[in-house]
Amino acid sequence: MGREYAEGIALGMLAKVKTAAVVGLEAQEVEVEVYISSGLPSMTIVGLPDTAVQEARERVRAAIKNSGCQFPTRRVTVNLAPADLKKAGPAYDLPIAVGILLSSEQVWADTVQMLFLGELSLDGGLRHTQGIISMVDLAKKRGITTVFVPAADAREASLVQGVDIIPVSSLSELVGHLRGEAIIPNHIAEEIVDDVGKAPWPTTDLALIKGQEHVKRALEVAAAGGHNVIMSGPPGSGKTLLARALPSILPQMGIEEALEVTKIYSVSGLLPQDTPLIRQRPFRAPHYTISHAGLVGGGRWPRPGEISLSHRGVLFLDELPEFGHADLEVLRQPLEDKVVTISRAQGSVTFPSNFMLVAAMNPCPCGFFGDPVKECTCSSMMVSRYQKRISGPLLDRIDIFVEVPHVDYEKLADDRMGESSEMVRQRVNQASSIQKQRLEGTTFVCNSDMTPLEVREFCQVEPSAQSLLQAAMNQLHLSARAFHRILKLARTIADLASAETIAASHLAEALQYRPRDQR
């Protein structure tokens, strides 16, 4: 077979090698065609390549020569098909080099069932490449059996089962493999363990936070049902510290959720080298000076923003009113649809964005409006203007509003430790398991995801609580969305208590999390 294949190349001096391009989070197959013809020595790359792909000419030339092979002294034409798909990044180096070696008959291989990925250094070594997991997943879907990846990315690539992963350290090593001189063994996939390991973002144990017991309870409810939270209080009351403690009580991600998050971080180039699979739920805390593209995602060729990087985790917005109005309003779609769509002239890209929104804010510009200890220096107009920076429709998508007051000296000086995050997490996991069993057969995993159809079916209220719910609707002038959110929140509180139906006490606690000022 190898001899016949080599003779076919000799006739047309044409070689075809498969690789992949990442568009959004998904990959598309790209065929690298290399044709060597008579003429002055040159190398041309066509097929809508960007600058990084054009620069592959020099990297590939040096890598082939430094790997003990000969670079053709003829005219080399490289076509990246399909030609209407933009090719970006240095991941095409290895397939171009393999195509040149095949076309010049320096190696012989049937590459129909092979996919090549990787950036070459000038000495022929292979460097880390972004989006490996998405491209290997494409190979599996297309029935490609073997994927050659940089050795540094082999652990990440092996997360996709059913594909042979060949870890390649250098081009010379790959040449020896294709010639059959020194076969590179397949990478043996590691067993995925349940241990979440150390989080790549800072976390705090609830036991270290003094006081604020009612806020800790609100965060427990939020973690159990995936509810959005806004904390309001004066500076220094512990809002940021409480938010950073939230990941420590969130339920552990399943394998499918972990793969979703890992794919996002791989495409973004943020996947730690020593962490091929992210098991800790993300915690993202962008500053309010962040650009619109940085928060939502974007660029000429869209990349995930902070909204998507917090998928299956927490998006923490400190100093919420300081964020731009357009940035806050754009949160409304992902909070409802769990996806964010970025449209460009070339087309639109959709990124997942199923996150918990946790926000912290001061009650006024100086931060001490309503504080019993320190007097507020803001006028009533300043306070009103500051609070109205957050629109009503956005507030209507928040489930829990909780005030965070100053902590007294007695509580700060108390040496006794509070309840640990591990104890709280056990209750959260139990409530989460109840929700997963209840929502089995749907695409939802927690109470906050439920639509009005599921609310009607699963949020049964005891007769004694019906009058309380009716009075709340009439007195608070709640919208239909707020009505359903209260029921979902009460359902989570009932799940924490392992109750079958929503009792009056569960409903009363859910109602106390509504904001006092309904605009």
Distance CA 135, CA 144 (A): 11
Q: Please state whether the peptide bond connecting residue 82 to the residue before it is cis, i.e. omega within 30 degrees of 0.
A: yes
On whether the CB atoms of residues 340 and 296 are closer than 8 A, the answer is yes
Distance CA 53, CA 7 (A): 30
Distance CA 419, CA 153 (A): 40
Distance CA 252, CA 264 (A): 18
**How confident is the model at residue 174, as a pLDDT?**
97
Within 10 angstroms of residue 142's Cβ, the number of other Cβ atoms is 13
**Complete domains list, the chain, with CATH:** 2-178 (3.30.230.10), 206-429 (3.40.50.300), 450-519 (1.10.8)
Mean pLDDT of the chain: 89
The tens place of each residue's pLDDT in the chain, 519 residues long, gives 344 333 433 434 799 999 999 988 999 999 999 999 888 889 999 998 988 899 999 999 999 999 999 999 899 999 999 998 889 889 999 999 999 999 999 998 899 999 999 999 999 999 999 999 999 999 999 999 999 999 999 999 999 999 999 999 999 999 999 999 999 999 988 776 555 555 666 678 898 888 889 999 999 999 999 999 999 999 988 899 999 999 999 998 888 899 999 999 999 999 888 788 888 899 999 999 999 999 999 877 788 999 999 999 999 999 999 999 999 999 998 998 999 998 876 778 899 999 999 999 999 999 889 888 888 999 999 999 998 999 988 988 899 999 999 888 788 888 888 889 999 999 999 999 999 999 998 888 899 999 999 999 999 899 888 889 888 888 888 888 888 999 999 999 999 999 999 999 999 999 999 886 533
Query: What single DSSP character describes residue 388?
Result: T
**How confident is the model at residue 197, as a pLDDT?**
54
Tokens of 152: 């540094």
Question: Tokens 């040449």 — which residue?
Answer: 175
Distance CA 263, CA 126 (A): 21
Strand order in the sheet with 164-168: 114-116, 146-150, 164-168
Kindly report the pTM of this predicted structure: 0.89
Question: Tokens 């931060």 — which residue?
Answer: 367
On whether the CB atoms of residues 465 and 487 are closer than 8 A, the answer is no
**How confident is the model at residue 199, as a pLDDT?**
60
Give the DSSP H/E element, type plus range, for residue 373.
Answer: none
Tokens of 294: 């940085």
Instruction: Report the C-alpha dihedral over residues 222, 444, 439, 499, rounded to 10 degrees.
Output: 10
**How confident is the model at residue 13, as a pLDDT?**
74
